[in-house]
Amino acid sequence: MNIAFSPALRDALTKWLDHLVALDGASAHTIKAYRADTTAFLTFLGQHLGGSTGIGQITGVTQSDMRAFMAHERGRGTGARSLARTLSAVKGFARWLAEREGFEPTAILAARSPKFRRKLPRPLSEEAARNLIRNVGDFAREDWVAARDMAVVTLLYGCGLRISEALGLTGASSPLPEVLRIKGKGDKERLVPVLPAARNAVADYVALCPFSVEDEPAAALFRGVRGGPLNPRLISRAMELTRTGLGLPATATPHAMRHSFATHLLAAGGDLRSIQELLGHASLSTTQGYTAVDTVRLMEIYDRAHPRA
């Protein structure tokens, strides 16, 4: 059953999403998810109340309507984490719309998000991280490709970069400075210190690369074999082959190197606020997940040292 949205409501949704991009710097991925989540709610509302959905229907939403929506989502298999994200989007839109239309969105904002256990990051041990970096180029057919893969993975672990951030570097970044200016999610910028090992790894790659990356400051620093920007799937594939050879778990992914960077830094005495800034987390609560990881690691050590009778 297709539910029509009134032109005013459709226009309001577009303006809200534009607002998220312009003022909050929301990424294209976030906007796509929020559009889908909010549209799902508005579609349900039309089916639930009957007829087309307009701003008037939003202003009259009751707690009973919200409970019915959540029951509907659970009934079609939506998990707690996904439902919590959907409610967050719906509340954000309702709050924005209420400010412009002058209604009270209490029923929507009061809807309780389902509780769910956050997945803890799965970092590697320090030895495993070093071994992975050391061996990630073993399956490459050319020396420069091996140097490239090693340089990328070194940046992930040595600087805590996301794979998109590492592959977003351009020729203007070479040679790497002691401090990199990284543009992360939502186009938020942060400064990241670069260890000598990372600078050396990138320098080795540039020296072997058959493409003159430093002569093209606006082009990608890391290249594929045909000279175009490196596809992140190739790094994932290189890590997959390497972790299999080393006997590491399937969780040893490019993003796990970033998790490992943060976890090992915390274990060495780094404070959460500094780690938050290095990772580019918008919220400290995201970074606090590494505290839980470190606690789990300590408890594993304790259990081995003090086995239960």
State residue 291's pLDDT score.
53
Catalytic residues: 162, 185, 255, 258, 281, 290
CA angle centred on 123, ends 198 and 267, rounded to 5° = 80
CATH 1.10.443.10 range(s) for the chain read 126-304
| Six token digits for residue 59 | 């202003």
User: Looking at the DSSP assignment, which residues form a beta bridge with residue 309?
Assistant: none
The matching CATH number, chosen from 1.10.287, 1.10.150, 1.10.1740, 1.10.3470, for 7-109 is 1.10.150
Whole-number pLDDT of residue 83:
87
Tens digits of residue pLDDT in 113-171:
777 555 655 778 889 999 999 999 998 999 999 999 999 999 998 888 888 889 999 99
Instruction: For the chain of 309 residues, list the mean pLDDT of each consecutive stretch of 10.
Output: 76 90 74 91 87 82 92 88 88 92 90 69 83 92 95 90 90 90 76 88 95 90 94 93 91 85 71 61 51 49 48
Identify the pLDDT of residue 221. Answer: 95
Domain boundaries for CATH 1.10.150 within the chain: 7-109
| CATH entry 1.10.443.10 includes domain 126-304 | yes
The predicted pLDDT at position 55 comes to 86
| Token pair belonging to 268 | 């060495």
In this prediction, residue 79 carries a pLDDT of 84
